[in-house]
Amino acid sequence: MAKQDDQNVNSKSSVVYGAVLSLAFSIVSGLLVGWALDRWLGTSPWLIVAGIVLGSVAGFMQFIRLMSRIT
């Protein structure tokens, strides 16, 4: 019984780690894309802000989707 509980905890913690990494990667990706577009188009800082916002929204959607697997 204890081995099954350990496997359940390990499975749930891996989902949590994946969700957190997905959130962080989405925000950083949006930041980098916005920064690159700002440099290319000369619209600083507007596309960085838009990239962070869009990355955050996408990251939180993915985070919620992954976290719903835990229950």
Query: What is the rounded average pLDDT for all residues in the chain?
Result: 92
Average of pLDDT values for 21-36? 97
Task: Please state, in angstroms and rounded to a whole number, the distance separating the CA atoms of residues 38 and 31.
Answer: 10
Check residue 1 and give its pLDDT. Answer: 61
Average of pLDDT values for 37-42? 96
DSSP structural state of residue 71: -
Check residue 49 and give its pLDDT. Answer: 97
pTM: 0.86
Average of pLDDT values for 50-54? 97
**50 falls in which pLDDT band (50, 70, 90)?**
very high
